[in-house]
Structure 1
């Protein structure tokens, strides 16, 4: 018998559940002034709370958006943007009950995929999420790092006022578009907390925009982190990049050229960049761009396996039949044939068997079937099938999300 119930959050419970999430992540309670500025980013819709009487003890939040999938299409995504349990109520089934309610809601509303950024990687595999895209942390030395003279130059970079950053960047992100698998749309409710709070009048981040022949086509949002100290008085500041998106390689190179031209800094740091971003190749000396870390970024969960598999395209190879197991959404359990012509449910014998979290790892092309099989995540019934699955699922460009949520 449980001593809590899980139900949708009401509008009157927005503030208390937001504060609960903050406490579970060891953040300070939000002030009235801050809540008035970005509370609209925490609507009651698509939030499930665990309550002891009228008191919230857990929260599982999401918002609906779109995600780009291999082949250039997009599908509806449930973006899980806040999960927490009060410290004195953990390990009592609260999280499992909330995640189950959230997944059942996604399924009932016909959402094919769910995604999240995992605070702890060990938590979400048991709910069917798999690490589907990686991100790298770049450190670039200044003033030594310079772009090679052969890198295409064009357009102009201008800095925005905080008021301009709030106004201009949402439309620019929309214009750049979801051009890489894993990128997600940013709905109106996303911007107040995740962008305006940092780049707007009450934040400390700086925004710069690149303009090319057809207008604005890229932007970067960054903070300046002071590194000088009593023991290192000559240590310059570091530019810490929060958000950088560009419509094409020329605009992206121009934004990096701008960052590397800022005076009185000793380096640039950018976290969660695409693992195949070729910054080092743009420099006269590639050693001045160092990858400090590669870590999991986007975690993906097929909610409707058949719809998710149909939504993306596949490369040329003989079809494979996947036996998918899904403990939390058993309607997904079954066999699926995947080939160049698409995907469909089938009664044919399976070539490969995997849990739904492993399918999430395979889906965007970050991991190969061969590697997943060697790691014991895929059971192989046909020795030739992993090679075929590698060819079917692989993507030329690495998946990348590029959006905090």
Structure 2
């Protein structure tokens, strides 16, 4: 293969690299009309391309945002949102070169964490990303499903026009806030391509907002899928939930109550929901809410291990010393004492040893140290330390991202 160059993308290369990503992900070609609408959400900043004879053959992209970590702090995050290699140039080191350049740039800028949604989960572990938050797909049968009479109630739900949905939901998302570890802030460039095109005048999705005593406190974005066939012409529609966020249990219950009240619907289908969401417990018969799948959601990569470990809180237990190995960002390799008072580098002997991708799995509380040790991802040097690490890293609520990017 001809030698290739890895370098930042220039302004003139935004459209060619966007087209390349689309082809790599098997999307339709981008028309001039579509580019005029989405181009501003594809800035040259924080993009690296691999070029061969001046043409892009690989691309990786990210945008800066913030992520909630256990304890409530919001850390700077590099959200990796566009990775692709031309089909005739895969498995030749292109992706490895891209990821190395991107991670070096994150480290140089002092970004403590990076995250992505993995289209192919086997790819990203070797670059230090670990499966840090899971999500479930749930399907609720209609009209059988009913909320029991002790489910919190109050407030009202109203449907928005497409123009209102584009205008109002970004501010409402910010007001609701990052209520779980793993949730991220949504910068201005996120909304046009990931929200507006679905809910705006040219989109097919519906938006409903819940309002409580203090104003709007939750919303849902959903689409209606027609399931009628020649063999079953009376089949009801399925409401397919794309985005649902609520500031409190009353708002969450109000939105689900609304979804389950829509007429001529046979089911409500929601993907990427928190694994501990209590929807089934809200129903008089929990069997009407079936979990169809549990899948990896957010993949997390500690870029500055010391800063990331010290930023989150830990439960009460004796400290544990972790030996972390990072084969790409060598400065992270070392020993870290983690305890209720925070984390720091240390020269003390390690109790547990793990690679940086496994630290990403442990960090938000989705996986226990016990499970990771049983899976062979954590080397146990002091058996008593496993239970201590379980207690230190566990979280009351399951981590969840809830944002497509």
TM-score > 0.5 by shorter chain: yes
Shift of 1:304: 0.2
Q: Equivalent residue for 2:177?
A: 177
Q: Is contact 1:238–1:269 with CA below 8 Å preserved after alignment?
A: yes
Distance in 2 separating the partners of 1:144 and 1:12: 55
Q: Equivalent residue for 2:146?
A: 146
Distance in 1 separating the partners of 2:383 and 2:294: 31
Give the stretch that moved more between structures: 2-11 or 279-288: 2-11
Q: Equivalent residue for 1:255?
A: 255
Aligned residues: 405
Distance in 2 separating the partners of 1:237 and 1:45: 42
Q: Equivalent residue for 1:16?
A: 16
Distance in 2 separating the partners of 1:337 and 1:231: 63
SS at match of 1:147: coil
Distance in 1 separating the partners of 2:318 and 2:2: 50
Matches within 5 A, 1:77-226: 77-226=77-226
Corresponding position: 1:285 with 2:295: no
Corresponding position: 1:36 with 2:33: no
SS at match of 1:173: helix
Runs (5+) with no aligned partner, structure 2: none
Q: Equivalent residue for 2:303?
A: 303
Matches within 5 A, 1:304-383: 304-383=304-383
Shift of 1:53: 2.1
Distance in 2 separating the partners of 1:401 and 1:157: 24
SS at match of 2:291: strand
SS at match of 2:12: helix
Shift of 1:152: 1.5
Q: Equivalent residue for 1:276?
A: 276
Q: Is contact 1:38–1:197 with CA below 8 Å preserved after alignment?
A: no
Distance in 2 separating the partners of 1:179 and 1:224: 28
Shift of 1:2: 5.9
Q: Is contact 1:50–1:56 with CA below 8 Å preserved after alignment?
A: yes
4+ long deviations beyond 3 Å: none
Distance in 2 separating the partners of 1:118 and 1:140: 27
Distance in 2 separating the partners of 1:5 and 1:262: 55
The CA RMSD measured in Å over matched residues stands at 0.7
Q: Is contact 1:61–1:81 with CA below 8 Å preserved after alignment?
A: yes
Q: Is contact 2:354–2:378 with CA below 8 Å preserved after alignment?
A: yes
User: Can you list the C-alpha shifts for 1:16-41, whole angstroms capped at 9, x where unaligned?
Assistant: 11111111011101111111112211
Distance in 1 separating the partners of 2:31 and 2:218: 33
Length-normalised TM-score, structure 2: 0.99
SS at match of 1:188: coil
Distance in 2 separating the partners of 1:355 and 1:260: 45
Runs (5+) with no aligned partner, structure 1: none
Distance in 1 separating the partners of 2:379 and 2:2: 37
Distance in 1 separating the partners of 2:177 and 2:390: 27
Distance in 2 separating the partners of 1:155 and 1:40: 37
